[in-house]
Amino acid sequence: MYEKRGEPKKAGAAKARTGAMRNGTVQDFSVRQASGSRAGSGSSRRPPASAMSSDELRKRQEAKKRRIRKRRIQFISILIFFLLAIGGLIFAVIFAVNSCNSEAVSTEPTASPSAEVQLGDDSMLSETASVNGISIGGKTVSDARAELSANLQLPEVAFLIQGEGLEQTLNATDIGLEFDIDTAIEQANQRGAVSAQVIINEETLLQTLYGLNENLPNHATNASFTIETDSNGKSSFVYSEGQNGVQLNYDTIVSAVKSNVEQGTYTATIVPEATVSEPAVTVDDLKKQTTLLAEYTTTYRFKGTSSMTEDEKANCEARDINIRKAAEMMSVITLEPGSVFSFNNTTGKRSAQNGWAEAKAVYGGGYRLETGGGVCQVSTTMFNALIRANVEIVNRKGHTIPSDYVTTKFEQGLGFDATVDYGNIDFKFRNNGDTTLYVFVYVTTNKESSRKRDVNVEVYGQAFEEGVSYRTRNEILEHIESVEIEYIEDKDQEAGTEIVVREGHDFYLVMSYVDKYVNGEFVETVMSFESEYPLILERRSIGPAIATPSPDSGGSSGGGGDGELIPVLP
């Protein structure tokens, strides 16, 4: 009788356990358990474990282990094969897609005998190439272009623009008539003999029509402005509103001219349409282009005080003459985009014959009288206003002695002066914007002192973007104090006296910066300038050395020995 799978007979199992415990053969019990387990799997033909010898049992166990290893090997082999099959399938799909793409690309021809070839100026043209009967075969593109430009003859053009209050004939120049030479050269290189197409330059034609529009009765006028200067030399903008009026319909005229030219017709009468239009430019538009971008002011003394010497008073008056003269020559500077302004070219040679006065100017670590002395205050004031308007500085050089009029705090003004010397040092700036730049320069009486005047510079142009401003700062990289004194002997000076003939000045190495801010937040540094002010020692002149009596002279100042000279030196 067979046992049901997984349900061994309870009586037989109990009897086996009893016998195992009675005989003390635990090993037999374990074997029976294993054998019973297999019996449960349906192996009813196998003999019971009690009937097997130990060798047979060992062989059976080894056979079991071999079967388990074999199954594992078979499982792993099947798994590896399965994975390889999947990988091969994926590779095949990818290869097929790439093959399709390659076939798709290869179906396009790489070149065609009739395809246009991009020609360079040095490219050689085919021997059969000709345009309008002019042979250009065997020439370079550059030479062919020159040949055709010189020999192709434009047709006569007479387009009559006729309307109420307007009658004007346009010629080839008015409409920008020209041959499309480059296209003709390319076509000739491929086909041989061709004819060049005649085309118009629409921008040229529009400019011509804009001029005609101004001759229309009651034509629209744009807003405008003038610059007026008051009795104090201060300039300002005065705006005028534009007016509505009649305006040519430019599109219809351009379309009519272009259509006639394309059909080979160069003589026709065109009756233009006119429409009522508003000004293209308003006062608000103009004000955005003439916004105050930055301004700067410096102060100088033009009238001396009672404590001054006559020379010092005369120097104040001479500087005033030169500063006001320079300001008047530059009262209104109008600079188009890309243009460069030159300080020296504007003033010309600053000589006595040209009306310039002699005043002190920095020279060789000190000062000397020069015609035009003092004009550097104008160039310095301009420099400070311009950099705050983010205007490009082309040429700027600092003085050898720092200027004390740049700011109220001396060190804050270091690196922000701009000297000029006709024939040697110029101050230049460029309009780096897209609209006209205006710079106003004028002199006014100082509000706090009747003995002082102010140099004022205002810069106008296209308004900055919302929240944008430019600020200046400087950084003193090195500072050496001037503490030593330099002595020179002056035989004409009274013995034993000292006179300061040159003041000492400290050494400064300074970097000055212009920073861009947006809504009060630093964004970037847009300009930087390095300035070096050399160390200048104070110089004093001394009189001749004093002669002291020798011990043998008995104290007499008159007789005998020369005595020892005691120089008055530190």
pLDDT at 95: 66
The answer to whether residues 331 and 440 touch, using CB atoms and an 8 Å cutoff, is yes
Grade residue 551 by pLDDT with cuts at 50, 70 and 90.
low
Q: For 386-434, what is each residue's pLDDT tens digit? A: 999 999 999 999 999 999 999 989 999 999 999 999 999 999 999 999 9
Determine the pLDDT at residue 107. 41
Round to whole Å and give the CA distance between 69 and 57.
19
The owner of tokens 């095949």 is 92
Reported as half-sphere exposure (CB side, CA atoms, 13 A), residue 7 has a value of: 3
* 3-state SS assignment for residue 142: helix
Q: Which of 253, 278, 268 is nearest to 169 (CA)?
A: 268
Q: Are 277 and 247 a contacting pair, CB within 8 Å?
A: yes
Are 376 and 399 in contact, with CB atoms under 8 Å apart? yes
Per-residue pLDDT band at 54 (split at 50, 70, 90) = low
Of 229-243, 269-283, 404-418, the one with minimum mean pLDDT is 269-283
Which of 75-89, 420-434, 554-568 is predicted with the least confidence, judged by mean pLDDT?
554-568
Find out whether 563 and 555 touch, Cβ atoms under 8 Å.
no
Q: Are 247 and 274 contacting, i.e. CB atoms less than 8 angstroms apart?
A: yes
Q: Is pLDDT larger for residue 364 or for residue 380?
A: 380
Model confidence band, residue 549 (pLDDT cutoffs 50, 70, 90):
low
φ, ψ at 63 (rounded to 5°): -60, -40
Q: Is the pLDDT assigned to residue 22 strictly greater than 50?
A: no
Of the listed ranges 21-30, 205-214, 325-334, 505-514, the least confidently predicted one is 21-30
pLDDT greater than 60 at residue 108: no
Return d(Cα 438, Cα 385) in angstroms, integer: 12
Lowest-confidence pick of 9-13, 333-337, 417-421, 492-496: 9-13
Q: What is the pLDDT of residue 312?
A: 92
Q: What percent of the chain has pLDDT over 90?
A: 61
Tokens standing for residue 99 = 């093959």
Which tens digit of pLDDT belongs to each residue from 57-69?
677 777 777 777 7
Query: In this model, does residue 291 exceed pLDDT 60?
Result: yes
Let me know the angle formed at the C-alpha of 129 by 126 and 135, rounded to the nearest 5 degrees: 120
Is residue 324 scored above 80 in pLDDT? yes
What are the tokens at 128? 């059969």
pLDDT mean over 123-135: 92
Residue 52 pLDDT? 53
Question: 556 Cβ partners below 8 Å, 6+ apart?
Answer: 549
Does residue 332 contact residue 235 with C-beta atoms inside 8 Å?
yes
Between these two residues, 31 and 419, which has the higher pLDDT value?
419
Note the pTM of the prediction, 2 decimals: 0.61
Per residue in 171-203, pLDDT (tens digit) is 999 999 999 999 999 999 999 999 999 999 999
Mean pLDDT of the chain: 83
Instruction: Please list the alpha-helical segments (H only) found in 24-120.
Output: 26-39, 54-106
- What pLDDT score does 544 carry? 86
Cα dihedral 38, 42, 47, 51 sign: positive
Q: What is the Cβ-side half-sphere exposure of residue 341, based on CA atoms within 13 angstroms?
A: 28
